[in-house]
Amino acid sequence: MQTKKIITSRAMGEKIKFRRQQLGISQERLAEILDVSYQQVQRYENGTNRLNVENIQLIAQALDVPITFFFRTDYEENIAEPSIPYAPLPEERTLLKYFKKIENNTDRLLVINVARLAAKKQP
């Protein structure tokens, strides 16, 4: 019987780092999204800390990849060139998720106007 190769914490960490850098996200920013310290992100990327099922799911969502991304060996070919021209940031996905739940059109317009005003405040 042939044994299958076990994906190590180090290999998983390399994939996290690869995807994070591909998206142009700093360790600090990923830490904010995951609600952990940037040192914890470093430990994940170095393979120092093992990832549990919940954390793998959170990281996959934050990095906009399927969970299987961490268990495949051909991730560079599959992820290096995104098939979509624009991958929304996790915050954008969250905003859209809640926006879709707003049934009242007046409330939807209110959210749009708040976003428009907030965008105009930017330097």
How would DSSP label each residue in 88-114?
--HHHHHHHHHHHH---HHHHHHHHHH
d(CA 78, CA 31): 25
Q: How far apart are CA 64 and CA 79, in angstroms?
A: 10
pLDDT for the residue numbered 123: 59
Band (pLDDT 50/70/90 cuts) for residue 95 is confident
At residue 91, the pLDDT reads 80
pLDDT digits (tens, 9 = 90+) for 9-45: 899 999 999 999 888 889 998 998 899 999 999 999 9
67-94 confidence digits (pLDDT tens):
888 887 664 444 444 444 455 677 887 8
